[in-house]
A and B are shown apart, each in its own frame.
Chain A
């Protein structure tokens, strides 16, 4: 074979080798890194867009921050970070007076840890109430306990019994649980 053809073929082969080597070992990895970076950039862009939307929402909500603070305070009153038993007793007394019944007896048991049941640190105070009053005013008292008063309670049992035969007054025994959860 002539020398010029050898040079031509060799040069073409060497050029191919140069192109392949450069592509496989330099260009392609760089392109892959570039694709990864672009994907991350796209995700980051989505996150940025979400942040912008959140900021816009926060900007609007910030105008009602006092309402949010009041809601937080209400929630904290419903589930205080401590037992607040005294406050709870005052609330019961107030509820009875408001509804026209008499809270004759209140017994508060020891706190029960419900973390195993609910998965977070929360304690339940077992409370037993004895309420006497007209039968027609028992329901408002129950509503006061469950809806109106700040402390959240879970009534587990109710026993309504008339005080006497043919009487309109009833004695109500209510077993309930008051909760508190320290904020972590």
Chain B
């Protein structure tokens, strides 16, 4: 076992050396080292060692006390409680009584985490301290809870001597100190086991530590134990334990947590007339209470079978029976040797913080974040551009598909046309081609019958007789190169009664359609009249044939 740090300092074992006064100079993490030397032990450690030494009592004494405690128990359940009480008697007194506000070091969470077994159901209330939980200042339990705890607390000792707060030397010196409350019997020193039954307790049930539980009336397992060799348990002397003046917090948690004893308690005088006469109040109110108090271990998930009378153990309750098996550590309430007076306030985490990170590192991290952000943004933009290009390509593909679909449709229609209407189209094409050619070559076709009939009709109207008609198209027209309106000439010969008749006929020819420019070139008076020759020009108005107009003109005097 290693020595404490302060012992390893130079000059600690010199004659003039004095143990430094323990005081807090800062927050120091607790060490799990156990002090080696006896002088290093604090009061709590001495108490623990005293209990360990008390276990070396001879079995005869324990058996005797156990039999005495189990005398009045008729039923098996009472025998079991008697044995439990005997075991409690066998448990040697603890030289230190936990008193004062128990510190919360180690923290409650760690304590629960490292607890060797589940906490008893009827655990007494603990004193709470203001704590910082997640940065918030949490106040202790409300006043109502405290008031309730206060009502359950045992009465204060009348003589001013408080065994719970008295130092060990005072307790050892004053063996007639009043008995400790039942809940703290396991913490009582050796003087706490009186032989004579104390007076009946005024309100034993009221300040019972653990709440009473309904135990089913099936004493199968516990009853199976042979209670025969065990002597009858003593009367419920513990019920008559005098009231002890004890702080509520102290009553609540009789664990091995560090004790901060007030100075006044250490010097409190022991009441003379109220010495603890009931050494082992094994089963308080067992005879009178309708529902006996069950030790805490009885409510554990796996109830511990009470030991037989031949091997009684102290009643430090079930927690005391199982606790020694677990590893002891600071989380069990043992204060750090260097800070025996440390409290929860000492180990609290201050709600302050400071960012001591170097500026260079912060800036480097910021730049790194910005770089990641920028790169991500650029990649995102590139992805968007790629997506845009993909959309464009998709549209291009769709447009190409549409065009191809339309072209395919056109080809299908063309194919259908050739398949179904090829003959019709060929007939129409040939017919149209021939019509076009005929129209071209017959461009200067005219209805000669119509023209001749008009000339004759006009001559007859003027009493003129036509004997010869000579008409022809000019060469330009036949070549298709005539640009003028005159396409041919007509020469008319005949006889008229007078020259005036010839002139009248010439004048009348101006009104004939298709001819123009009538010109009497010759008029000769003969015996039977005037023979004349008139020349007129044929105009485009006379054109019109079968293939050059929709309705080719026909002679009004035709045979048709």
Contacts and interface: CB of A to CB of B under 8 A. Distances in A.
Contacts of A3: 363, 367, 370
A160 B466 CA distance: 10
B479 interface: yes
B385 A18 contact: yes
Interface string A17-37: 011001100110011011001
Interface residues of B, number: 76
A109 interface: no
Contacts of B552: 146-147
Which 5 pairs between the two chains have the least Cβ-Cβ distance? A140-B559, A11-B374, A157-B472, A41-B403, A139-B449
Contact of A34 (B395, B416, B427): B395
Interface in A73-119: 75-76, 78-79, 98-100, 114, 117-119
Contacts of B470: 157-160
B53 interface: no
Contact of B382 (A18, A139, A165): A18
Nearest to B372: A7
A2 B370 CA distance: 11
B414 interface: yes
Given A140-B559, A156-B478, 15 more contacts: A3-B367, A14-B378, A18-B381, A31-B395, A55-B416, A71-B431, A72-B434, A75-B430, A99-B559, A120-B440, A139-B452, A158-B452, A158-B471, A160-B452, A160-B469
Contacts of B559: 98-100, 137, 139-140, 143-144
23 contacts: A8-B370, A23-B385, A37-B396, A37-B403, A52-B413, A59-B421, A65-B427, A68-B424, A72-B427, A75-B431, A76-B434, A78-B434, A78-B438, A79-B437, A119-B440, A139-B453, A142-B452, A143-B447, A143-B555, A159-B468, A159-B469, A179-B438, A179-B441
A78 B547 contact: yes
A58 B558 CA distance: 39
B366 interface: yes
Dominant secondary structure at the B interface: helix
B339 interface: no
A114 B409 contact: no
B291 interface: no
Interface string A114-148: 10011110101000000000001111101110111
A4 B370 CA distance: 6
A27 B410 contact: no
Contacts of A144: 559
A78 B433 CA distance: 12
Interface stretch (B22-30, B253-261, B326-334, B386-394): B386-394
Contacts of B433: 183
Contact of B444 (A10, A136, A154): A154
B506 to A, nearest CB: 19
B554 A51 contact: no
B374 A155 contact: no
A65 B423 contact: yes
Interface of B: 363, 366-367, 370-371, 374-375, 377-378, 381-382, 385-386, 388-389, 392-393, 395-396, 399-400, 402-403, 406-407, 409-410, 413-414, 416-417, 420-421, 423-425, 427-428, 430-431, 433-435, 437-438, 440-442, 444-445, 447-449, 452-453, 467-473, 478-481, 545-547, 552, 554-555, 557-560
B410 A30 contact: no
B406 A41 contact: yes
Nearest to B393: A30
B428 A68 contact: yes
Nearest to A64: B424
Contacts of B468: 159-162
Given A30-B393, A58-B424, A51 B388 contact: no
A26 B421 contact: no
B424 A34 contact: no
Given A7-B367, A22-B388, A147 B554 contact: yes
A156 B420 contact: no
B392 A27 contact: yes
Contacts of A69: 427
Contacts of A161: 467-468
Given A4-B366, A15-B377, A44-B403, A124 B441 contact: yes
A7 B452 contact: no
Contacts of B406: 41, 44-45, 48
A124 B367 CA distance: 99
B431 A68 contact: yes
A51 B414 CA distance: 7
A32 to B, nearest CB: 10
Given A34-B399, A44-B403, A146-B546, A51 B410 contact: yes
Contacts of B449: 138-140, 142-143, 146
Nearest to A181: B437
Nearest to B441: A179
Given A34-B395, A157-B471, A62 B420 contact: yes
Contacts of B545: 146
